[in-house]
């Protein structure tokens, strides 16, 4: 991971995107991270959009907690309930 202070960032955004496929570039202000450039070359737009949506991520987290708390059913049981082979 590469870190650069915002006050020292003088290159164009296009220049900073080179190399993010190998390692993320973190932009910091006073040593604290405020943004990051990361490669999304292997990610489709739908997945990217959903992963950045706070409401969707909250729903996923609630589902995970419920699964831990209450358990769930196996894929075999789901197929049986849906009359699938």
What pLDDT sits at residue 4? 96
What pLDDT sits at residue 16? 93
What pLDDT sits at residue 85? 79
Q: Are strands 32-37 and 25-29 parallel, antiparallel or unpaired?
A: antiparallel
Q: Which residues contact 79 (CB under 8 A, 6 or more apart)?
A: 85
Tell me, what DSSP letter sits at residue 23? S
What pLDDT sits at residue 1? 92
Please report, in tens digits, the pLDDT of each residue of the chain (85 residues total). Answer: 999 999 999 999 999 999 999 999 999 999 999 999 999 999 999 999 999 999 999 999 999 999 999 998 889 999 999 999 7
């Amino acid at each position: 991971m590469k870190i650069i202070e915002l006050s020292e960032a003088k290159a164009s955004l296009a220049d900073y995107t080179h190399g993010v496929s190998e390692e993320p570039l973190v932009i910091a202000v006073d040593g604290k991270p405020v943004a990051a450039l990361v490669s999304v070359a292997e990610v489709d737009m739908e997945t990217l959009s959903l992963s950045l949506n706070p409401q969707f991520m909250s729903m996923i987290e609630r589902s995970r907690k419920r699964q831990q708390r209450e358990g769930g059913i196996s894929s075999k049981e789901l197929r049986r309930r849906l009359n699938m082979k």
